[in-house]
Structure 1
Amino acid sequence: MFTLIAVLAPLVGAILSGVARPLLGKLVSVWSTIVFMLISAASAIMAYRGGVQPALHIAHWVQVGTFTSSWTLRQDQLSLVMLVMVSVVSMLIHVYSVGYMAHDKTPQRFMSYISLFTFAMLMLVTSNNLLQLFFGWEGVGLVSYLLINYWYDRKAANDAAIKAFIVNRVGDLAFAVGIALAYFTFGSIQFDVIFAGVSSHVGQYYTLFGTQMPVLEVISFLLFIGAMGKSAQIVLHTWLADAMEGPTPISALIHAATMVAAGVFMIVRMSPLINAAPAAMGFITFVGGTTAFFAATIGCVQNDIKRVIAYSTCSQLGYMFLAAGVGAYPVAMFHLINHALFKALLFLAAGSVIHAMSDEQDIRLMGGLAGKLPFTCAMMLIGSLALIAIPPFSGYYSKDAILDAAFSAHTPIATYGWVCGTLGAGLTAFYTSRLFFLVFTGKSRAPKHVQDHVHESPFVMLLPLLVLGIGAFASGFVLKPYFIGSEFQSFWGNSINVAANSTMFTMDKVANWAENAPLALAIFGILVAALFYLLVPALPGRLSQSFSPVYKFLLNKWYFDEMYDALLVRPSLRLAKFAWRFGDEQVIDGVPKGLAALTSDASAQAVKLQTGSIALYAFIMLIGLVVFVSLFIWVR
């Protein structure tokens, strides 16, 4: 019952704030969402304390022929962990938003959206079948569109929302096809039925265009492509940074802590199926490792404070998929929870900076804020150290465990992932330190009128930072014994399927040099950032000029947007213009317009026959009579 309350409470808050706001008024509408999120978080904690329970049936949903699907809340350990994380983090962001959106014209609309998003996300993580998961999946996608485009009078927000929607549709199409194939293969979309039937379908193949493809591999590939879109992995990553056009609390809730982690959660949920698809696991490892390195390189040269953190999110999600690809699913979940805490902290701290700087987001126009924003600075430092993975902060325990798991797999693709992840650790330390130094140290580079108004955020914004700061500091060593310690199997139970040959059982035997390499590179990255932005601040400018092609390559995000524009956007526009001019103007509009013009012209010519001359009429009648008689004689 606590699970049901935790899931439905945000929906009630969203309805009150969204639908009943004319009756309740601005203040009551906003705080109603806070009350129901507190109820949701408290209920989620109580549900977790109650332990694993049987799935909770709510109602029948879809029944078509032999296909049936019902609303059922899964209450295994994986769902309960995600239930607590999503509800607690969302509750803190709701509280933070009261202060951040205080001067907005429609804060009740904003609060309604984020409560609705939380409901959809909770439906996703407690789903007991693929259709219910897809409902939550599409629900968070829809609300994400609304939130990115919250300031709909800004063209940049319009474009970013459309981009996010379209890119995610690519992944979602593959995901939907994967769900359909799973139903045709297993005869059900219930998780338990699918997992029980995996072994009986090993060795089965689809035949397409004369090519045989393993059934389980195809389904796993399709499901992962869906995860690539939602979790912004390379190729389908381009929407994430642009989504920063939405208000900062949204960046923390959707694009750091919860929605983008949905892809990782789905892959972990489907671990019994993924384990039976080694080629798909290799692909997941490759994409995860590549993304971890690729996004980190871009983060090194970005100048928007939120975009730096956004590319960090993209990179960290790559680490999670790297862990899942080598079968270390509990490690992926460990990093997911740690990341939710320290990345939400970083985004909210960035929001506090933006709030203090009169909405300025360019880190080149900041500096010297440590003295004016001491609490925000301290929280940003905690989040940065957790992201860099410096012990004893949370990121150290999970990121290093991911790299240990990859190294101990001893396969070429896993080794590639380890190299990418290790290099990414050094780059992460560099761009995170760069951001911190440029924002909080040195002299202020902001205009004087901005400097005069710099102030610490109100208490309602600082309290969530404090709670997340404690989590970002302590979650690593507190959760490690349960999530990935020697007793991890008893903690996760049957909610995660860890194969007998998984690197979970060998990652503690990694060579010392390999285990210490990520930390060594992280320290090196901090030192390089200190050299560039504290000791010799002119050095970055000289290097960017000396290595201009490399710098422009990274600044333009590896030219993915330009490539998609040339290969997809422009040809689509040309095709649309052709279809408009030929199909719409000439055919669809041309036929009725042509008939109208023909009728008009015919009538204009017919009118000329009506001259009013009796002699002309008699002559025409005579001609007609001659023609008629001639035809009569000819026929006879």
Structure 2
Amino acid sequence: MTFEPFVVLLPLFGAMLAMPVGRAFGTRAAELLTTGLLLITALIAWTLFFDVALGGNARTITLFEWVGSGAFKANWAVRLDTLSAIMLVVVNSVSFLVHWYSMGYMKDYGEQSRFFAYLSLFTFAMLTLVTADNFLQLFFGWEGVGLASYLLIGFWFKKKSANAAAIKAFVVNRVGDFGFALGIMCVFYVFGSIQFDDVFSAVAANAEVIPFGRTVGAPIQELTITFLGQSFHALTVIGILLFIGAMGKSAQFLLHTWLPDAMEGPTPVSALIHAATMVTAGVFLVCRASVIYEYAPNAAAMITLVGAITAFFAATVGLLQDDIKKIVAYSTCSQLGYMFFAAGVGAYDAAMFHLFTHAFFKALLFLGSGAVIIGMHHEQDIKKMGGVKELMPFTHILMIIGTIAITGVGIPGLMVFGAPFGTAGFVSKDMILEAAFFGGEAGKAFGYFAFTLGMLAAVMTAFYSWRLIFLTFWGPSRAPEHVRKHPHAVPDAMMMPLIPLAIGALLAGIVFFPNFMGDKSEAFWNGAIYKADAHHEEVVSSADHLNAAEVAALAADDHGAEASHADESHGDDAAESHGDDGGHHVPTWVLWAPLFAMLTGTGAAAFHYLRGDPLRPGLLREGGMIYAFLKNKWYFDEIYDYLIVKPALRFGRFLWKDGDGKTIDGVGPDGIANVVAIGARRIVKMQSGYVYHYAFAMLIGIAVFVTYILVRAGGGQ
């Protein structure tokens, strides 16, 4: 047996052994066991990244046939290509650092063995998801992370709000997962297989497929399926259903309401689930199924629309949040929107690049927030902080690094080692905005719309990110006296994991840009993501989103141009596209617009929070309609409560009281029991207890019996 499966299995071993080891040898042994196994897993993941993604040695290791029923077959395998290698690095690296961090964070809370078991279980489920070779194994991991997130969000199960948040996350995700399950069923109905290679190769080759139960098929790119008398494009139906699953898991607009409430779990849970792993599963799914979306433009347009609205919506809500963790949570929601609209316009490489860089700075912000919460005696309201940089100078520096990364600090047009010069967020987010702009140029639905909302979200991201820094760390302290004089000590185990995250937040963009987006990208992706050319006549790897954008722009400007021109200009032009002249690749104003958006948001935050009383009323004042609208998160919880929750409760109560109680039980078991009871009460009245009553009854009985005998005897004569 090769060593590759252990990258998935070691966290499972940790999950299984954590609680028995904790009971036998103490909680510290359970912590060291699970954290040590995650360290080994992370090292294996990085080894595989260099071998598979950078070395080009993609492979699939089939362990056994998992399900076999007629034509329905699913193997349990470990699929190792560039997509899975990226996710293995992200999941295992962040999970190891979170395990390490939790050794300090959870020491005063108790039940560490159970907590570390849940963390490792979550990691195993996520690794199963990203290494799946078929839709069913992916769905197993998908549901596994849902279960683990329920356990982790509701870890403090004696706390009512934590239980409510866990149930809310579980139920909302089931809505999306129902769509995902239907999508898998539709895949099998159309293709007769759920293996990725079978499905994706058929779509790429436009093979003729015969759906289940039909006798005549059609090329898959033109195939329609009928439902309720209506015909629908098969790939569009599949793409939309799969994306509905992604919407739930990645907290996209309309199915986003669970994510902020999930902050009820311990802070390490927020970093693991909501920064780098579970919520990115939806982006991974869309990129994994990129070949489907290339030939389902309406489904891709839906992804672009929903992603753009999510990026804007979550940023608006983040403006007025006061809970330090919820600010970062809405930031996560917004950044996921960026990833989705990048995938929607065909820039899957840009989406995965931002997923990769986002893991560093978002985990850094979450874990840094956790350190602040511990240091401030579990206070989470930033309006009750201030002056924390004097108490926690190292944490302040790390949070500043996370903030400049997420807001996108860099110099447009300046190339260093073949990559744009700037923080991780600057490099990857600017690629997404440029991809959205060129998507509009090429006629991609909602491309310009996504670019516009993405720019507005960038302004608001800078504002609420620096608002968090200014209110938390700068200015006079607003904390109670005992907190200012006696801040809670933050263990070294909580601070050390933040250092590699800070390094990644600063340098990951520059270091990995040539592989993800630059001149090494074709070899790096090695066909893991799929990109059709501008005319959908031939297949090319999405090696470089700027290359794809160039093809689209040329196609729009000159319909007679040959698509091969893009391949000839591949590599060198990727760097030139970020030069000062911009060329026709990236207009100068598009290149500089994200920087101005960041400066605008930062300047507005500084103008308000660094002059006088930072808590004075601003442009949006309490009591105003817009303030209330944003403070109440666009009233989605209230709308869902009115339209869904309360009617469901009324309907359930009706079924319970009238349907089950009065009808079924009333006529059935309860009704029969009542009849028996009434009859018994009447018969009981005949039992008087007097001997002469019983003697009289016996005489009457004897008389009746004798009379009967005589009558029968007379009739016989």
Same fold, judged at TM 0.5 (above):
yes
For 1:45, the equivalent position in structure 2 comes to 46
For 1:564, the equivalent position in structure 2 comes to 640
One-letter identity of the residue aligned with 1:280: A
The 1:579/1:402 distance shift into structure 2, 3 A limit, reads same
For 2:339, the equivalent position in structure 1 comes to 320
- Take 1:196 and 1:219, find their aligned partners in 2: how far apart are those partners? 16
Could you tell me which of 111, 115, 119 is aligned with 1:110? 115
Query: How far did 1:511 drift?
Result: 1.6
**Over residues 528-575 of structure 1, what are the superposed CA-to-partner deviations in whole Å (9 max), with x where a residue is unaligned?**
111111114367525343771100100100000000000110011111
Could you tell me which of 673, 693, 701 is aligned with 1:596? 673
Could you tell me which of 478, 489, 494 is aligned with 1:445? 478
Query: How far did 1:433 drift?
Result: 0.5
- Take 1:314 and 1:190, find their aligned partners in 2: how far apart are those partners? 31
Secondary structure at 2:402 match in 1: helix
| Worse overlay, 160-169 or 405-414 | 405-414
Query: How far did 1:576 drift?
Result: 1.3
| Worse overlay, 281-290 or 592-601 | 592-601
Could you tell me which of 167, 188, 192 is aligned with 1:187? 192
Question: 2:71–2:193: 8 Å Cα contact kept in structure 1?
Answer: no
Structure 1 vs Structure 2: percent identity of aligned residues?
48
Secondary structure at 2:497 match in 1: helix
Question: 1:323–1:406: 8 Å Cα contact kept in structure 2?
Answer: yes
Query: How far did 1:458 drift?
Result: 2.1
The 1:617/1:194 distance shift into structure 2, 3 A limit, reads same
For 1:634, the equivalent position in structure 2 comes to none
Q: TM-score, normalised by structure 2?
A: 0.85
**Over residues 140-164 of structure 1, what are the superposed CA-to-partner deviations in whole Å (9 max), with x where a residue is unaligned?**
1100000000000100000000000
For 2:307, the equivalent position in structure 1 comes to 288
**Over residues 264-302 of structure 1, what are the superposed CA-to-partner deviations in whole Å (9 max), with x where a residue is unaligned?**
001001111111100000000000000000000000000
One-letter identity of the residue aligned with 2:518: G
Give 5+ residue unaligned stretches, structure 1: 631-636
For 2:60, the equivalent position in structure 1 comes to 55
Matched, 1:84 2:127: no
The 1:610/1:153 distance shift into structure 2, 3 A limit, reads closer
One-letter identity of the residue aligned with 1:146: L
For 1:67, the equivalent position in structure 2 comes to 72
For 1:504-519, list aligned pairs within 5 A: 504=546, 505-506=548-549, 508=577, 509-519=585-595
Could you tell me which of 231, 234, 253 is aligned with 1:234? 253
- Take 1:224 and 1:162, find their aligned partners in 2: how far apart are those partners? 22
- Take 1:600 and 1:112, find their aligned partners in 2: how far apart are those partners? 54
Could you tell me which of 169, 176, 188 is aligned with 1:171? 176
Question: 1:323–1:332: 8 Å Cα contact kept in structure 2?
Answer: yes
Question: 1:373–1:455: 8 Å Cα contact kept in structure 2?
Answer: no
| Worse overlay, 135-144 or 80-89 | 80-89
- Take 2:698 and 2:488, find their aligned partners in 1: how far apart are those partners? 97
For 1:347, the equivalent position in structure 2 comes to 366
Query: How far did 1:187 drift?
Result: 1.3
Matched, 1:218 2:237: yes
The 1:350/1:628 distance shift into structure 2, 3 A limit, reads farther
- Take 1:59 and 1:243, find their aligned partners in 2: how far apart are those partners? 36
One-letter identity of the residue aligned with 2:90: M
Question: 2:377–2:488: 8 Å Cα contact kept in structure 1?
Answer: no
- Take 2:615 and 2:681, find their aligned partners in 1: how far apart are those partners? 81
For 1:406, the equivalent position in structure 2 comes to 436
For 1:633, the equivalent position in structure 2 comes to none
For 1:13, the equivalent position in structure 2 comes to 14
**Over residues 476-512 of structure 1, what are the superposed CA-to-partner deviations in whole Å (9 max), with x where a residue is unaligned?**
1111111011332221011111222386422641321
Give 5+ residue unaligned stretches, structure 2: 208-219, 411-421, 535-541, 551-576, 578-584, 712-717
Q: CA RMSD in A?
A: 2.3
Could you tell me which of 154, 160, 167 is aligned with 1:162? 167
One-letter identity of the residue aligned with 2:371: S
For 1:83-482, list aligned pairs within 5 A: 83-198=88-203, 199-200=206-207, 201-391=220-410, 392-410=422-440, 411=443, 413-455=446-488, 457-482=490-515
Question: 2:620–2:627: 8 Å Cα contact kept in structure 1?
Answer: yes
- Take 1:140 and 1:85, find their aligned partners in 2: how far apart are those partners? 15
One-letter identity of the residue aligned with 2:297: P
Q: TM-score, normalised by structure 1?
A: 0.95
Query: How far did 1:29 drift?
Result: 1.1
- Take 1:543 and 1:256, find their aligned partners in 2: how far apart are those partners? 30
- Take 2:115 and 2:149, find their aligned partners in 1: how far apart are those partners? 12
- Take 1:312 and 1:610, find their aligned partners in 2: how far apart are those partners? 79
One-letter identity of the residue aligned with 2:14: G
Secondary structure at 1:178 match in 2: helix
Query: How far did 1:13 drift?
Result: 1.5
The 1:538/1:41 distance shift into structure 2, 3 A limit, reads closer
For 2:557, the equivalent position in structure 1 comes to none
The 1:627/1:518 distance shift into structure 2, 3 A limit, reads farther
